[in-house]
Structure 1
Amino acid sequence: MPEVASSGMSLSSLGRRLWRGTGFIVLSGLFMIAAAIAVLGMLTPSYTSGIQVLIDPADLRGVDNDVTVRSPQSDAGVSMAESQTKVIQSDNVLRRVVEKLALDRDDEFTKPDSTNPAVSFLKTALGMQPPAGSRDPVNMALDTLRTKIVVRRPERTFVIDVQVQSKDPQKAAAIANAIGDAYFTEEANARAEAAKRISDSLSARLNALRQAVEESESKVVRYRETNKLATSSGRPFSDQQLGDLNQQLVTASIRTAESRSRLDQAQKMTGSEAGTALPEMLQSLEMQALRQQYATLSRNTAELATRLGSRHPAMAEQEAQQRDLQRLIQVEKTRIIEATRKDYDRAAASEAAIKKNIAQVKTDLSTNDRANVGLRELERTLESRRSVYEAFLRRSREAGEQEQLNNTNVRVISSATPARVRSWPPSPRVVLPVALVLGLMLGAGIALMLGADRDRKRARTTVRRATSDPRSLRAADA
């Protein structure tokens, strides 16, 4: 019960103190509102505009052999996106923005030095005065611009938010959009520069590779000339020659066999009668004429023998003519047989010559096979150098073409527009209620402190009065 009473007295005293200080509390709240309004009026408003840039880890595939290839893996993509946030804040990108928007001549970004001697002396004494060499307007604008931009990547995304703060909403939007353009230009230039470095390096190497190929080709030519390893239609000349000789040998063998057969048949018909059928090789025009005359003479002789008799004197003349024709036919046979023998001799000689040439070519092939061992080694060296040279040449041309190709898969998904509401200082609808609450709380605290002080003073006064009047003490004891 005593604790409840003391608590009630404490709450009542607090309420009494607040009630007595109501006017002070209200004045304190109004004062804080007035102070907030004054401060808001003194502060320079600033506006924030921003863009959103999507960094796709998978680049556009313009060519098969790109100079720079980004991995589509998630961990590499996140690292790449984080790296791009640093690129956006780099001097190369921001310097393009400063030059494009002439921020080095903007008072907001290049604040002039104070002309107050006291301020200059104080800054110098505190080490806050920058040296004269660092007062370049472009560098000053860069430093100021870097403090006015915020670049961040929301977690689990490949989107980069770029926010720019400025006193002018139009300027803030223009700077944000200029940062996006400068970033794209920097990325394109970086890709082109990488392709140019590769192209220049490959071009410098191409001269040495070309000389190596020409040297290898000269060695192959000299080796062929030294070892007589001529080629025709891509084949070694000795191989082609052997193939041709084999074909010629087959033809010559057939011709020799035919000539031998004709000669054998002709020799068998040497002693035959004049009227005996002869093989085709003996059927020359001369022989046909003689045989025609002999056949006619034989018919006439037979008719004459039938009419006059075999002992008639006219029969002797007919028989003499027959013997003369037989002799001429035999002479023609001998001539034809001799011609057939000569044909056979020529065919046999040709076949023998071809066989000799084949033997010589085979001997040369054996020698060439040993020489081809070194030739194949030289050709392998030449082929390897030529393949490397052609690969470098093709890659150099591709890299040269890629200087004009931008396959970066980056785009702005949200452009900057002028802000309609300032970002600093906060809105009065937020500041004034907060100021009122703070003022009331401050006034309440002061009212409680003043009330407590009055209560302490009153208690001390009561104690002094009681001490000076003994009756009051007895009454208090009773």
Structure 2
Amino acid sequence: MFDFSTRMGGDQPVRMVLPQVTPRTEPRVILRRLWRGSGFIVLGALFMVAVAVALLGLITPRYTSSMQVLVDPSDLRVVENDVNARQPQADSGVSIAESQVRVIQSDNVLRRVIAKLHLDQDDEFVLPDGNNPTLNWIKGALGMLPPPASRDPVNIALDTLQNRLTVRRAERTFVIDVAVQSRDAEKAARIANAIGDAYFAEEAAARTDTARRASDALAGRLANLKRDVEQAESAVVRYREDHKLVASSGRLLTDQQLGDLNQQLVTASIKTAEAKSRLEQARRMRSSDPSTALPEMLQSLEMQALRQQYATLSRNTAELATRLGERHPAMAEQYAQQRDLQRLIQREKERIIETTQKDYDRAAASEAAIRANLDRVKTETVSSDRAYVGLRELERTLDARRGVYEAYLKRAREASEQERLNTTNVRVISVATPARQRTFPPSPKIVLPVALVLGLLLGGGIALALGADSDRRRNQRAAARPAASFRAADA
């Protein structure tokens, strides 16, 4: 631009001030800078690839082996009892599976693995302490040196194993994945399978311990319950003895006697009525004709024989009277024989009447005695019923205590047997096998291309930075040159 505010003479030169040009960052400028720095790009790529190859050779590879465990929330229905048989709620399955994930990661399970595989003696899991006193002093000053109580090899191996262990549950499943990293693929698989075995052993030990504690608690309670039952039984027996409440077959003796006497009274009443009926019939036959038929219950062998003789004699007498006449001397003898038979028959009737009377008297006396006993037993039953009220209360207490004792005894035996059963429905669905490829560092197929790209980016950045610096210096040199002057007349 021209500065016309200054007064100019003919010999005074005129200075022209040009605007400062800023470097442009157009694509062609970037490409020009990259082309100029192509050597740096190639060197950066080769450098990063060389670094990646060196790191791949120096870094100790690690291998990961995994196993899978299926946790079914519902236990096996081996026995039906409240000790081991439970039906989980619909929304508790996930919580149970997540709890098992925590159990697998627990110190108890991992300590079993360390003891089984002797990981506390493995240099991979227990790094030896450094012998450099200076380095140890620096670590102690920075608080990086652990206290002596934490230098137990088992604890160190436990911390290392927890860092190498990954346990997770797949979403919407009850399958738990257990993965272990190690320098040796076979060792990783061995540790993963050992974790599964230790988990099952820990679960079985927990179930056994739970059943044992329940059995011991029940056994401790059984002694008190047994003593309560014995005291209740003694109270019942003592109450029966004090109130003379004798029982047989679960019933009081007075109740049994009352029932028996009622039945005997009915039978005795029937016998008395029958004996009275026979006596009345026997009395009616006293004045009857000897040839009159008698009831069967009044018949006897002697009466039958006499009546048979009397009938035969009467028939012979009638025939003889027809043939000889009523006044014949022989008829007197026949009539005399008839009178003798009539006296014998009458005597037999009297004997039968007397026997029937005795039978009736015995039946009536037996009935009276039974009635007397029945009245006495009724009186005793009334007093026994009053005393039986207290007895029933004692028996109810005894039944309640006996029921509780038997329930506890049954449950104690079930809990004792539960120690020998494993009802956990957990199984391994996939065992760990040695990994075919390492987990860390990644494969050269991935590392080398990434290193090449990073090297190209690094070289490109260097090339762009150097190109930008070269352009800046060129502009500064151009700005430092003397400006051209000319006269206003020339302008």
Instruction: Name the TM-score, length of structure 1 as normaliser.
Output: 0.90
Deviation for aligned residue 1:111? 0.8
What are the ranges of 5 or more consecutive residues in structure 2 without an aligned counterpart? 1-20
Deviation for aligned residue 1:69? 5.1
Q: Deviations over 1:362-383 (max 9, x none)?
A: 2222222222222222222222
Change in 2 beyond 3 A, CA 1:86/1:314: closer
Change in 2 beyond 3 A, CA 1:314/1:421: closer
The one-letter amino acid paired with 1:104 is D
Deviation for aligned residue 1:347? 0.7
Corresponding residue for 1:208? 224
Distance in 1 (alpha carbons) for counterparts of 2:316 and 2:88: 115
Q: Deviations over 1:373-402 (max 9, x none)?
A: 222222222222222222222222222222
Deviation for aligned residue 1:163? 1.0
Change in 2 beyond 3 A, CA 1:158/1:74: farther
Q: 2:97 matched to 1:101?
A: no
Distance in 2 (alpha carbons) for counterparts of 1:213 and 1:235: 21
The one-letter amino acid paired with 1:100 is K
Corresponding residue for 2:4? none
Equivalent residue for 2:245, pick from 207, 223, 229: 229
Corresponding residue for 1:371? 387
Q: Deviations over 1:111-145 (max 9, x none)?
A: 11001111111111112222222222111111111
User: What SS does structure 2 have at the residue aligned with 1:356?
Assistant: helix
Q: Is contact 1:67-1:194 (8 Å) kept?
A: no
Q: Deviations over 1:322-366 (max 9, x none)?
A: 555544443333232122111111111111111222222222222
Compare 48-57 and 58-67 and name the one that shifted more: 58-67
Q: Deviations over 1:389-436 (max 9, x none)?
A: 222222222222221111211122221111111111112221222222
**TM alignment of 1:307-326, pairs within 5 A:** 322-326=338-342
Distance in 2 (alpha carbons) for counterparts of 1:28 and 1:164: 37
User: What SS does structure 2 have at the residue aligned with 1:50?
Assistant: strand
Q: 2:417 matched to 1:401?
A: yes
User: What SS does structure 1 have at the residue aligned with 2:428?
Assistant: strand
What are the ranges of 5 or more consecutive residues in structure 1 without an aligned counterpart? none
Distance in 1 (alpha carbons) for counterparts of 2:279 and 2:333: 35
Q: Is contact 2:79-2:85 (8 Å) kept?
A: no
Deviation for aligned residue 1:26? 1.2
**TM alignment of 1:21-420, pairs within 5 A:** 21-68=37-84, 71-280=87-296, 282-291=298-307, 294=310, 322-420=338-436
Distance in 2 (alpha carbons) for counterparts of 1:298 and 1:66: 98
Distance in 1 (alpha carbons) for counterparts of 2:330 and 2:345: 23
Deviation for aligned residue 1:16? 2.2
Count of paired positions: 470
Corresponding residue for 1:12? 28
Q: Is contact 1:32-1:439 (8 Å) kept?
A: yes
Q: Is contact 1:57-1:70 (8 Å) kept?
A: no
Distance in 2 (alpha carbons) for counterparts of 1:6 and 1:70: 82
User: What SS does structure 2 have at the residue aligned with 1:59?
Assistant: coil
Q: Is contact 1:71-1:77 (8 Å) kept?
A: no
RMSD of Structure 2 on Structure 1 (CA): 2.7
Structure (1 or 2) with the greater helix fraction: 1
Distance in 2 (alpha carbons) for counterparts of 1:290 and 1:11: 165
Change in 2 beyond 3 A, CA 1:366/1:8: same
Deviation for aligned residue 1:222? 2.5
User: What SS does structure 1 have at the residue aligned with 2:144?
Assistant: coil
Q: Is contact 1:220-1:379 (8 Å) kept?
A: yes
Instruction: Name the TM-score, length of structure 2 as normaliser.
Output: 0.87
Change in 2 beyond 3 A, CA 1:474/1:145: farther
User: What SS does structure 2 have at the residue aligned with 1:369?
Assistant: helix
User: What SS does structure 2 have at the residue aligned with 1:389?
Assistant: helix
The one-letter amino acid paired with 1:372 is Y
Q: Deviations over 1:65-115 (max 9, x none)?
A: 252456544531111111111111101100010011110110111111001
The one-letter amino acid paired with 1:244 is D
Change in 2 beyond 3 A, CA 1:293/1:412: closer
User: What SS does structure 2 have at the residue aligned with 1:75?
Assistant: coil
